[in-house]
Structure 1
């Protein structure tokens, strides 16, 4: 909810500011930090740098793979780390996006999810995101940013000829040409159950399937524990269902003005839309109070 172009609490009352001085800012990228044209505004760049100078670490936490992090790689400061693939990978952007930690989706669990969704939602097509790149089925919407991807049935893409001999699976993507995004998500979560984590970040019926318990929130929690940072010292930003766990975990969280209704309900505060530099608006307010 807008208040004089700034931020409000989730109930729309007094402007929302963290109750505890923050030590870490965790922000989603697409639809949140990035504008719709995938740029980072000068105002946002300045706000991120100011936060780091004030001793507040900034973590980019995204569904993007490491190879798509060039849009923000110049704006990571001291630690150089980002959380990618919805928590399945921690990457070092100072080292060209090198993956330093993996929380994989086990291939048997991935195969179970694929087979279950083929039955529960006929017409679903799949892509498989590995640590080495993405590959997809012929019916899956093509990845023009990944021209080197191979095309084959998901069962073949997930086949492992020797135990431990294949690249780890970060996530499986499932696309349906007719179902609504939220209906597809609800159906998939019910059908697959607890064998995998399923979420979405696209405006289309495109689901992202990760290992059980893997999410932006759970990997961020691990990174914070390594730094002795309490959830109350974390400020998080997001706009889509794959951000909900992170926004619920963080001591202070903001849904963007353009956020999904479920995200608005999960966050403790709201800021303006991504195209209005909503993340920068909040960071500036936080720094004014230090």
Structure 2
């Protein structure tokens, strides 16, 4: 995986599926973050039928314990909205990184501070999570540094710091979709900006980095075409992936824009929507 690609549009014809790409939160996982027995069985059956399963998520590698017991086959996952490819068989070892350049991250910080006063930031490095004092205190890492984003993004020597996987920006007052629109209008020419949280939380990656573009690269390495991929998702950070895959399903609990982007729809995550589609796919074979 050496360069970014622009995922091509969804093909019009379906081919026999060779890969299932599924989001986790709100999609494969139930709201209590568990994986149902039915879903575990469906994933195993897909692998037994020769269909690879990729977990494609906004989560960092260290938060993949929710599915680590259900890894089959290759054990690869795409994390941090496409910024990292990890090996779950080796405890989340980073195999590929598509970083956000620090100068670009600083530009986005300065821009959002100007355009949306009150924005607070966090930085997801390849080595861990760090945040500003005003950033909401969830998913705290014991070793996290608390400091202004400008300090978190600084380096003693150029290139000496760990790769930046994501910049996160939170606003207490703006609506989630309103903040996304503002962020893309203000800085979308410099970085990829999306969201997956029910709060006004933006996830900012390198320009062209997305679940879709990294999945496309992984598939190209395996000789798998877009029309051999079945994808599942529920939030705006899944839209490019659902638009790219030959067959795609929005969950019953999905954001309206996700429903519009997908080629099909299944039931909600709490009702085993992913498992039901996989069972149908295997039955049709």
TM-score, structure 2 as length reference: 0.95
> Is 1:66 matched with 2:56?
no
> Is 1:155 matched with 2:155?
no
- Structure 1 runs of 4+ with >3 Å offset: none
Q: Which residue of 2 aligns with 1:199?
A: 194
Task: Find the residue that maps to 1:69 and give its secondary structure.
Answer: helix
Cα distance, 1:144 vs. partner?
Answer: 4.0
Q: Which residue of 2 aligns with 1:165?
A: 160
Q: Which residue of 1 aligns with 2:89?
A: 94
1:222 to 217, 220, 228: 217
Q: Distance in 1 between matches of 2:217 and 2:14?
A: 22
How many residue pairs were aligned?
Answer: 273
Give the gaps of 5 or more residues in structure 2.
1-12
Give the gaps of 5 or more residues in structure 1.
1-17
Cα distance, 1:193 vs. partner?
Answer: 2.8
Cα distance, 1:27 vs. partner?
Answer: 0.1
After superposition, the C-alpha distances for 1:216-254 in whole angstroms (9 at most, x for unaligned) are: 000000000000000000000000000000000000000
Cα distance, 1:163 vs. partner?
Answer: 1.4
> Is 1:189 matched with 2:184?
yes
Shift of the 221–144 alpha-carbon distance from structure 1 to 2, 3 Å rule, reads closer
Task: Find the residue that maps to 1:123 and give its secondary structure.
Answer: coil
Q: Which residue of 2 aligns with 1:111?
A: 106
For the aligned residue pairs, the C-alpha RMSD in angstroms reads: 0.8
> Is 1:77 matched with 2:72?
yes
TM-score, structure 1 as length reference: 0.93
Range with greater deviation from structure 2 (262-271 or 185-194): 185-194
Q: Which residue of 2 aligns with 1:13?
A: none
Cα distance, 1:42 vs. partner?
Answer: 0.1
Q: Which residue of 2 aligns with 1:263?
A: 258
Q: Distance in 1 between matches of 2:56 and 2:40?
A: 16
Task: Find the residue that maps to 1:58 and give its secondary structure.
Answer: strand
Q: Distance in 2 between matches of 1:144 and 1:190?
A: 28
